[in-house]
Amino acid sequence: MSLIAYSHANEGFVSVEQFLNECKVDKEPCMAFVMGVVEGARHQTREQLKEQPYAFLVHGNPVCLPGSWNSEKLTEIAVTVLTNQRQTWPYSAVSGILIALSSQSTCEST
């Protein structure tokens, strides 16, 4: 089942657990989902944070990720962190991905 089908079955959002299960089956949609989350977060804070290409806010704190990271690296980090945090599995994959990536931030919080 695809991530889109999961969101319809789960009241409009993809859970962390569903996201992780999809990533085991097919990495391509998984990477696309992660990049969509990152781009959405960046779009909301582009004017505040001039850091590129991966800078966004999570709970008001800046998150900066190395520009050398590609979609595969970002996805690998998200999957690894979320796999080890079972308590996040029922929650939104979008929030989980942002929190997982923020754990690797290279910028100072304000």
pLDDT at 15 over 60: yes
Q: Report the number of distinct structural domains present in the chain.
A: 1
What is the tens place of the pLDDT at every residue in 31-81? 999 999 988 888 776 656 565 567 777 888 888 888 889 999 999 999 999
pLDDT at 78: 97
Q: Are 68 and 52 in contact (CB under 8 A)?
A: no
DSSP 86: G
107 domain residue, yes or no? no
**Distance in angstroms (rounded) separating the CA atoms of residues 18 and 53:** 27
Domain enclosing residue 61, as ranges: 3-102
pLDDT at 93: 96
Average pLDDT of the chain is: 83
- The upper half-sphere exposure of residue 98, i.e. CA atoms within 13 Å in the direction of its Cβ, equals 20
User: Token pair of 41, please?
Assistant: 């977060």
Q: Are 54 and 65 in contact (CB under 8 A)?
A: yes
User: Token pair of 64, please?
Assistant: 């900066």
Name the percent of the chain in helix, strand, coil, to the closest 5.
55, 10, 35
What is the tens place of the pLDDT at every residue in 85-107? 999 999 999 999 999 999 998 87
pLDDT at 110 over 50: no
Closest by alpha carbon to 84, among 13, 18, 20?
20
How sure is the predictor about 8, in pLDDT bands with cuts at 50, 70 and 90?
very low
Does residue 2 or residue 65 have the better pLDDT? 65
62 domain residue, yes or no? yes
